[in-house]
């Protein structure tokens, strides 16, 4: 695992096409307000179950550059009575609240409304209604992407949340259960009329677990159909990808998911911010893994911390040419101290990076 290639192989994330990066930073830093509330920039962290937890967001804050972050999906039924010190997903650090949106999932308008009020009372920037998750357990309850089959139910959900809170209301959704964009356009217009402040759109059919490329032109059609901001999501990996989405679709901004887990400093890099010294000096990956291990230990019990670190390794190891080999020692770890030992031993500057993550791992 060591001695493969020169140290310079760790530098693609902060070298390359400077005109692209300059144009991208200019686009991402254009002023934007959601329901009259300003946001720092137009590059956001997407909600991701098991990945976008409080520990990861703490580490993300170290690197900077993220305009808004979204929590993991939280059950609307559970949120009103959740204890933030105990809950696996409904937890946060107070300093991040002014740039944090809580995503809730549910089918009962009354439950969604009560959950949204709790979110507002806690001081979150906004609340996001999940209309995109196609996991069978969520869909069977009529939540997530199931709402894309019943637009009246989707509107009832939004109406309840919009009536309950004054904070910004976001909706994350997909094209639908077929590749026909017409239903999504109709829904987007109805969501805007019902008071949604921003739409985050993933242009894939609901059952597609990223086995096919996103239908990026659907973002353009949707953005042209409404006047509220539409953020694009899906397979944004390089600065060129991000700029292409902005220029080619006219979307208001970009929501990044798995690439944020792979390289959390892309927010600072793409918005023209300062990168930490450890990234510039080639030790960014080791530092990142160790920071995340420490943050997981602070926020979760040992079993949950280890489980979440192992989930993270899929995306982290995809950065490297020999990612499958790199992942194995982390998956074999029995404790977080084992994780730290593996990070110090294996994450050396000589590891060879890929410019784009290994998609065979990245699409899991």
Cα 273 → chain centroid = 19
Report the C-alpha gap between 234 and 132 in whole angstroms: 12
Report the C-alpha gap between 170 and 195 in whole angstroms: 10
Query: Is 66 part of the annotated catalytic residue set?
Result: no
Signed CA dihedral, 81, 85, 87, 90: sign only: positive
Specify the residue for token string 């900077």: 64
Quick one: tokens of 339?
């994780």
Select from 142, 140, 137, 139 the least CA-distant residue to 157: 142
Specify the residue for token string 């109406």: 159
Q: Per the residue annotation, which of 74, 102, 133, 242 is the catalytic one?
A: 133
Cα atoms in the 13 Å half-sphere on the side-chain side of 202 = 30
**C-beta separation of 255 from 47 below 8 A:** no
Q: Residue 34: what are its φ and ψ, rounded to 5°?
A: -115, 115
Instruction: Name residues whose C-beta falls within 8 Å of residue 224's C-beta, 6 or more positions apart in sequence.
Output: 250
Cα 225 → chain centroid = 24
Continuous segment of H or E residues that includes residue 160: helix 151-164
Report the C-alpha gap between 271 and 243 in whole angstroms: 11
Instruction: Name residues whose C-beta falls within 8 Å of residue 28's C-beta, 6 or more positions apart in sequence.
Output: 41, 42, 43, 67, 242, 246, 253, 254, 270, 271
| 159 C-beta neighbours (distance < 10 Å), count | 15
Quick one: tokens of 294?
């420490």
Active site residues: 133
């Amino acid at each position: 695992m060591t001695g493969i290639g020169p140290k310079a192989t760790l530098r693609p994330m902060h070298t390359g096409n400077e005109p692209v990066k300059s144009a991208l930073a200019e686009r991402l830093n254009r002023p934007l307000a959601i329901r009259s509330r300003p946001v720092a920039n137009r590059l956001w962290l997407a909600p991701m179950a098991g990945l976008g937890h409080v520990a990861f967001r703490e580490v993300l804050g170290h690197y900077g550059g993220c305009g808004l972050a979204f929590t993991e999906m939280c059950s609307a039924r559970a949120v009103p009575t959740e204890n933030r010190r105990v809950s696996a997903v409904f937890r946060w650090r107070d300093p991040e609240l002014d740039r944090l949106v809580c995503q809730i999932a549910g089918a009962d308008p009354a439950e969604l409304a009560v959950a949204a009020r709790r979110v507002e009372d806690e001081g979150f920037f906004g609340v996001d209604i999940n209309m995109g998750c196609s996991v069978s357990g969520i869909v069977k309850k009529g939540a997530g992407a199931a709402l894309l089959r019943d637009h009246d139910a989707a509107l009832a959900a939004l109406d309840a949340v919009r009536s309950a809170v004054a904070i910004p209301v976001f909706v994350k959704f997909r094209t639908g259960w077929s590749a026909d964009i017409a239903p999504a356009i109709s829904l987007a217009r109805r969501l805007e009329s019902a008071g949604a402040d921003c739409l985050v759109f993933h242009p894939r059919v609901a059952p597609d677990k990223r086995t096919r490329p996103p239908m990026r032109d659907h973002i353009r059609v949707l953005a042209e159909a409404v006047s509220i901001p539409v953020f694009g999501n899906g397979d944004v990996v390089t600065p060129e990808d991000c700029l292409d989405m902005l220029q080619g679709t006219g979307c208001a901004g970009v929501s990044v998911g798995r690439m944020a887990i792979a390289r959390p400093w892309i927010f600072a890099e793409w918005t023209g911010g300062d990168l930490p010294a450890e990234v510039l000096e080639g030790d960014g990956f080791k530092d990142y893994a160790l920071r995340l291990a420490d943050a997981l230990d602070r926020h979760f019990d040992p079993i949950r911390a280890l489980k979440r670190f192992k989930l993270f390794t899929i995306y982290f190891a995809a950065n490297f040419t020999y990612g499958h080999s790199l992942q194995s020692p982390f998956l074999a770890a029995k404790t977080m101290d084992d994780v730290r030992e593996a990070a110090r031993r294996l994450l050396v500057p000589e590891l060879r990076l890929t410019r784009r993550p290994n998609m065979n791992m990245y699409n899991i």
